A and B are shown apart, each in its own frame.
Chain A
Amino acid sequence: MELREIQEVARTAGRFAVSTPLVATLLAGRWFELDQDVLDRGAVPIVRRDDRLVAPYYADGVAIVDGAGAVVESSGVEAAVFADLVPLALVPGEHPALDGERLAEARAVFAAVAVGCADIVLTRSIAWAQTRQQFGQPIKGFQAVRHMLADAHIAREQAWTAAIAAGHEAFRADVWAAQAFTLARRSIEFGIQVHGGVGYTWEVGLQHHLDQVLELDSLFGGDR
């Protein structure tokens, strides 16, 4: 798959807060296509982080092997083992294979996930502004609210541009990803403000999207 296509999928995944390792799986698939030799037999590198095994995907017939080729885990065994797995691409820098070009691609793709997070919060904020009534009218009628929606859009569009640029300029993908995360976060901040007190409640759940951006930022945002 083209990186840009994976970015589109990643953005959609971010929009729906898809928590499975879908995005990492697509990336792994792409790397496998590009580099059959390194990724022999459909294997992709994994990493052991703390006590957890980190794999890009799991499904029937997937086995986790050690460097010598011995099976460590396989999807034939208990499902519980796999519940602890987190996506490979979520641990940049800790795995020898995830650096250089690949790390840059992971940054570009997870930056796109963050744009999806901003998308969903903006969609929900618009819906909220249309329903919530104050002073006898929906708050969407207040220009201050409308301008916050516009600012959320501006930041979200800029974040998407940064994600696209990250996919084109591997040499500064860290800077681009950092910008994408910051801008996606900024967009979500406007969305929370539009929601008022409700936006601050756990129940409404805007923090999930914000958390996802913060988490991705800490993993892929680079040093700046």
Chain B
Amino acid sequence: MTMTRFDDPAADRFRADVSAWVAEAIPAEWRDGRQALGPDDVQRIQRSWDEALFEGGFAGLSWPEEYGGRGFGPIEELIYYEESSKANAPDGFGRIGRVLAGPTIIAAGTEQQKKKYLPRILDASEIWCQGFSEPGAGSDLAAVTTRAVKVDGGYRITGQKIWTSFAQYSTRCLMLAKSSTELPRHHNLSFFLLDMEQDGIDVRPIRQINGEQEFNEVFFTDVFVPDEDLIGGEHEGWAVAMTVLSNERGTTEAATRLVEATTEIDLLSSCCSLDKPHDAVRLQDRKELLRWHILRATEEKAAGEDWFTAGSVLKVQWSELIQDATRLGIDTRCPIHRDYWRHSYLASKAMSIYSGTNEIQRNIITDRVLKVAR
């Protein structure tokens, strides 16, 4: 049975279960000393968190049971994230699989694709990356030029992707490529579930402003994808990609960001060097507002409302909130947390860029939500 409202009495029981489990499962080194951890430690903890989630039965809460999920709805999913935010839990490493690949396969995949890929996302035995952006196709995603040429039994992929997060750790890629040079824009792309463990793929990490190397350039030279790994129809990849992006901008992504916002703002509130505590209180209030906005959107989604109308508002809200929080972190000039704030301040700069820039979100709001013709 799936809940459609937060005041469902079952929600309280579920919440109690989650919170008890999370409190128990969080690694002590994360709970007590997150600020001191380096990127390698963080990744190790995130990977072990993926395993813990799976073993604890909290992976794939809203995914169908026949593919290893729990068969609940978006409300249970959000309750999980709310409770993990209160407890300052880590995020898993397999987030692209859980937030993007999984929902896309559930929405558009064949039975065979669901059986093959979904369980491996849940137990984190496969790590996914998202091969959308290219040097010439960022905000204008439909302009991708990586080619998919039809051959016997599949396609051959050649081209360059960029900003591909976690590609160096990935076994699978959500690949958007141009399958027709004749058909019109938006009807000329195909979407593939591409195997990253084969020849012809060259992954080159790119150093980010925060010093980490999470994203990459990826060169594909004559790489094979079998027909059964085409998702959605041939040349219908744009429509599938839009599904991915509306998921990315969806409640799940926002809920994971709520977890991050909570961690930053809690640290800020307790920081010894905060000379204007009032500012931190305001951020706490805004974080609560974000939480309620997710609740509201999730309830509307469970009631069958179009999701995209809330998605862009949420994206702008979480990214600006976290950016404001880390900016204030820098402003505290705290001697103890200086390195931590410098790192998360820089990391937060990416938030108004990825998942569709905040300018693009504002375009979507005026074009599609307010429906003001250009």
- Which of B146-154, B213-221, B288-296, B336-344 touches A? B288-296
Shortest distance from the beta carbon of A21 to any chain B beta carbon, whole Å: 29
Is residue A73 within 8 Å, beta carbon to beta carbon, of the partner chain?
no
* Cβ contact within 8 Å between B369 and A153: yes
Is residue B13 within 8 Å, beta carbon to beta carbon, of the partner chain?
no
Q: With a CB–CB cut-off of 8 A, which chain B residues contact A126? A: 370, 372
User: Which chain A residue has the least Cβ–Cβ distance from B282?
Assistant: A224
* Cβ contact within 8 Å between A158 and B313: yes
* Cβ contact within 8 Å between A161 and B363: no
In whole angstroms, what is the CA distance A215 to B370 when docked? 28
Is residue B34 within 8 Å, beta carbon to beta carbon, of the partner chain?
no
Candidates B285, B313, B363; contact of A179 at CB < 8 Å: B285
The interface centre, meaning the residue of B286, B288, B296 with most chain A CB atoms within 10 A of its CB, is B288
In whole angstroms, what is the CA distance A170 to B43 when docked? 41
* Cβ contact within 8 Å between B366 and A150: yes
The digit string for B285-328, where 1 denotes a CB below 8 A from any CB of A, is 11011001100100000000000001001001100000000000
Shortest distance from the beta carbon of A151 to any chain B beta carbon, whole Å: 7
In whole angstroms, what is the CA distance A165 to B313 when docked? 17
State the interface size on chain A (CB cutoff 8 A). 22
With A146-B366, A147-B359 as contacts: A154 and B374 at CB distance below 8 Å: no
Is residue B108 within 8 Å, beta carbon to beta carbon, of the partner chain?
no
* Cβ contact within 8 Å between B372 and A162: no
Shortest distance from the beta carbon of B143 to any chain A beta carbon, whole Å: 19
* Cβ contact within 8 Å between A164 and B296: yes
In whole angstroms, what is the CA distance A154 to B364 when docked? 12
In whole angstroms, what is the CA distance A146 to B372 when docked? 8
Q: With a CB–CB cut-off of 8 A, which chain A residues contact B310? A: 157
* Cβ contact within 8 Å between A149 and B372: yes
* Cβ contact within 8 Å between A150 and B374: no
Is residue A129 within 8 Å, beta carbon to beta carbon, of the partner chain?
yes
In whole angstroms, what is the CA distance A153 to B316 when docked? 12
The digit string for A139-163, where 1 denotes a CB below 8 A from any CB of B, is 0110100110111011001100110
* Cβ contact within 8 Å between A154 and B289: no
Is residue A106 within 8 Å, beta carbon to beta carbon, of the partner chain?
no
Shortest distance from the beta carbon of A19 to any chain B beta carbon, whole Å: 28
* Cβ contact within 8 Å between B293 and A157: yes
Q: With a CB–CB cut-off of 8 A, which chain A residues contact B288? A: 165
Q: With a CB–CB cut-off of 8 A, which chain B residues contact A115? A: none
The digit string for B349-374, where 1 denotes a CB below 8 A from any CB of A, is 00000000001011101100110111
* Cβ contact within 8 Å between A149 and B370: yes
User: Which chain A residue has the least Cβ–Cβ distance from B288?
Assistant: A165
* Cβ contact within 8 Å between B285 and A150: no
The digit string for A105-145, where 1 denotes a CB below 8 A from any CB of B, is 00000000000000000100010011000000000110100
Q: With a CB–CB cut-off of 8 A, which chain A residues contact B363? A: 143, 146-147, 150
Shortest distance from the beta carbon of B196 to any chain A beta carbon, whole Å: 37
With A146-B363, A153-B370 as contacts: A158 and B317 at CB distance below 8 Å: yes
In whole angstroms, what is the CA distance A158 to B289 when docked? 7
Candidates B292, B317, B369; contact of A162 at CB < 8 Å: B292
Q: With a CB–CB cut-off of 8 A, which chain B residues contact A151? A: 362
Q: With a CB–CB cut-off of 8 A, which chain A residues contact B286? A: 179
* Cβ contact within 8 Å between A149 and B289: no
User: Which chain A residue has the least Cβ–Cβ distance from B6?
Assistant: A168
Chain B residues proximal to chain A, CB less than 8 Å: 285-286, 288-289, 292-293, 296, 310, 313, 316-317, 359, 361-363, 365-366, 369-370, 372-374
- A sample of 24 inter-chain contacts (CB < 8 A) reads A122-B370, A126-B372, A130-B372, A140-B373, A140-B374, A146-B362, A146-B372, A146-B374, A147-B359, A147-B362, A149-B365, A149-B370, A150-B361, A150-B362, A151-B362, A153-B313, A154-B313, A154-B316, A154-B317, A158-B293, A161-B293, A161-B296, A164-B292, A179-B289
Q: Which 6 A-B pairs have the closest CB atoms?
A: A150-B362, A150-B365, A146-B366, A165-B292, A147-B362, A161-B293
